[in-house]
Amino acid sequence: MNEPTGLPPARQLITAAAEALKAQADEVNRLNVFPVPDGDTGTNMSLTMDAVVAAIERLGTSPSSADTCAAVTKGSLMGARGNSGVILSQILRGLCEVIAESPVVNAKTLSAALERSVEVAFQAVRKPVEGTMLTVLKDTAAAARGAAANDETVLDALDIAATEAFASVKRTPELLPVLKENGVVDAGGFGLAILLEGLVAAASGTEVRVADVSSAAAPLLNVAPVDDWDDAEYLYCTEFLLFGDGIERPMLEQFVSAAGGSELVVGDSGAYKIHVHTNDPASVLAQMTSLGEVADVHVNNMRRQQAERDAKLKAEQGEAAPTSPPKPIGVVAVASGSGLVEILRSLGADVIVNGGQTMNPSTKDIADAISRVNAERVLVLPNNKNIVMAANAAATVADRPVSVVPTHSVPEAFSALLALEPEQSDLRTAAEAMSEAASRVKTGEVTTAVKRATSKAGKIKSGQVIGIAADEIEVIGDSVLTVALELSDFLVTPEAEMLTVLAGADMSDADLGEITEKLQERHPDVGVEALRGEQPLYPVLMAAE
């Protein structure tokens, strides 16, 4: 490549861009929405760039522009990994075609090179999908064209192009619905923008600044872990890590899919995680140990596990003896956390369905629970906005009259249960009284963000503690204590008399004591009560009424 005056050599620029991408690879990986194709966009693009860097490192000192371009083209072609890697190789090919033939690299060259990239990259696909890496490339080329028309310097033009790339990435959810549904931006486009920014930083000698592209719609909480121990066809759920050089993923996938069902192969050359449902884990492992080193082997008997779990659930729920006469109204409530379950039970809930924010029970789970209640009529407390629908659906298929009290949190259920009079037999009257009671409760939740996001309270980094009240993120902070204290201000109104604090499974009694004490100091007019809810994921639940 011809070095434009004042710019570092091409080799240094490319290496820096590759490093910038590598540093963000995990971040890019996290944006993937398709569970199967191109599972690790960041890793794939980064490995493709590694091949490019390796190819230019094999060149002698001060290679000619044409040689560098040829090395970049060839390295990316041979090293292309995954869909994003193949697209990247076409982009680089287009860029190199123009740069190799240009005596100087100025803004006009950059613009022409990006234009050619667009051409080359779009030619390799019959039906380009908008809102992907290709869209970001197109927008970037347009920005470079504008910069060239304005006679910007090559460095400024590159900077303008990189800035537009991030802006374009941010717009991808508007173009591709699957991104919007998942609250992410396009991973490949983001990778491309990072590469450009890496070039800018290396050329101008500044730090790499990765623009915030998180979309406002980003969901904060992880979706439910897949509970797939429900495979009638196979007996064993087998999971392990496999290490070894030269193990090809397609070959692995083929073998694993022949061995059973629900197969999943994650990873890349040398390190894989494999998950498969099979009737013969021994032969799977025998085959795998012949390929490389196997570690962390887990073999679970799904049928037994399921039976054990059902039995345990039954025992936990301690169903009312069927010999006693049925109650006029029974209650099914959804909750997870031994403490919350115990409190619900002590307040009169008959059957508890295990579930919550990250594990929504199915309609069938709720319907089964209804059928186990020894009562003439049943009230269901879903205790989460996302479970209300399933509860309503369960009500329509139940074998007896059922009404749903649309509670959005477990503390709401506590108040609702207190409002249920034991001799009440009219379902509707009871449901209304309980809804009334539930609506007076203000619930706050403290948890940890698993993704970057933007909220009412500002930008959130992954790992920060957030406080949620009425489905809005109101507080962002770094410790559970400070967030809980600030969040309490959103809950405790002048009419409030009582503030209940429910400690999650991971919170120690000492921490709970400290939070309770500080809350009492902060709100001297209300009574603060501390209980152990043992709920997962939320170190603190608070309810004021």
What residues make contact with another protein under the rule CB under 8 A? 34-38, 77-78, 80-83, 85-87, 89-90, 93, 120, 123-127, 129, 250, 254, 257, 261, 363-364, 367, 393-394, 396-397
Element (H, E) at 332: strand 327-335
Which residue's CB is nearer to another protein, number 33 or number 221? 33
**Helix, strand, coil: what percent of the chain each, to 5?**
50, 20, 30
Which residue's CB is nearer to another protein, number 40 or number 474? 40
Minimum separation from the CB atom of position 133 to another protein (A): 9
Q: Is 5 exposed, middle or buried (0-12, 13-18, 19+ CB in 10 A)?
A: exposed
Minimum separation from the CB atom of position 100 to another protein (A): 15
Which residue's CB is nearer to another protein, number 362 or number 435? 362
Minimum separation from the CB atom of position 239 to another protein (A): 20
* 206-227 per-residue burial string, b: 16 or more CB within 10 A, e: under 16: eebebeebbbeebebbeeeeee
How far apart are the C-alpha atoms of 411 and 384, rounded to whole Å? Answer: 11
For 125, 151, 367, 401, the CA distances from 394, given in Å and listed in that order, are: 46, 66, 5, 11
For 92, 99, 121, 423, the CA distances from 116, given in Å and listed in that order, are: 10, 10, 8, 79
For 24, 55, 265, 308, 440, the CA distances from 36, given in Å and listed in that order, are: 21, 30, 9, 32, 45
How far apart are the C-alpha atoms of 430 and 427, rounded to whole Å? Answer: 5
If we measure between CA atoms, which residue out of 462, 505, 469, 471 comes closest to residue 484? 469
Which residue's CB is nearer to another protein, number 90 or number 140? 90
Which residue's CB is nearer to another protein, number 102 or number 424? 102
Contact 261, 231 (CB under 8 A): yes
Minimum separation from the CB atom of position 37 to another protein (A): 5
Minimum separation from the CB atom of position 175 to another protein (A): 14
Which residue's CB is nearer to another protein, number 127 or number 321? 127
Which residue's CB is nearer to another protein, number 282 or number 397? 397
Minimum separation from the CB atom of position 289 to another protein (A): 25
Minimum separation from the CB atom of position 161 to another protein (A): 22
Minimum separation from the CB atom of position 267 to another protein (A): 15
What are the structure tokens assigned to 41, written together? Answer: 């966009």
Query: Letter for the amino acid at 462?
Result: S
Compute how many other C-beta atoms are within 10 angstroms of the C-beta atom of residue 307.
Answer: 11
Minimum separation from the CB atom of position 347 to another protein (A): 28
How far apart are the C-alpha atoms of 362 and 306, rounded to whole Å? Answer: 16
Which residue's CB is nearer to another protein, number 234 or number 414? 234
Which residue's CB is nearer to another protein, number 117 or number 409? 117
Beta-carbon contacts of 54 under 8 Å, excluding residues fewer than 6 positions away, are 75, 79
Minimum separation from the CB atom of position 87 to another protein (A): 5
Minimum separation from the CB atom of position 264 to another protein (A): 12
How far apart are the C-alpha atoms of 91 and 530, rounded to whole Å? Answer: 59
Angle at 446 between CA 440 and CA 452, to 5 degrees: 125
How far apart are the C-alpha atoms of 62 and 1, rounded to whole Å? Answer: 10
Which residue's CB is nearer to another protein, number 44 or number 488? 44
Which residue's CB is nearer to another protein, number 79 or number 539? 79
Minimum separation from the CB atom of position 271 to another protein (A): 18
For 28, 31, 193, 221, 521, the CA distances from 185, given in Å and listed in that order, are: 9, 7, 12, 17, 44
Which residue's CB is nearer to another protein, number 178 or number 224? 178
Which residue's CB is nearer to another protein, number 123 or number 283? 123
Minimum separation from the CB atom of position 373 to another protein (A): 17
**Could you tell me which residues are beta bridge partners of residue 329?**
377
CA terminus-to-terminus distance, the chain: 70
Compute how many other C-beta atoms are within 10 angstroms of the C-beta atom of residue 59.
Answer: 14
What's the CA dihedral at 51, 52, 58, 63 to 10 degrees? Answer: 180
How far apart are the C-alpha atoms of 527 and 543, rounded to whole Å? Answer: 12
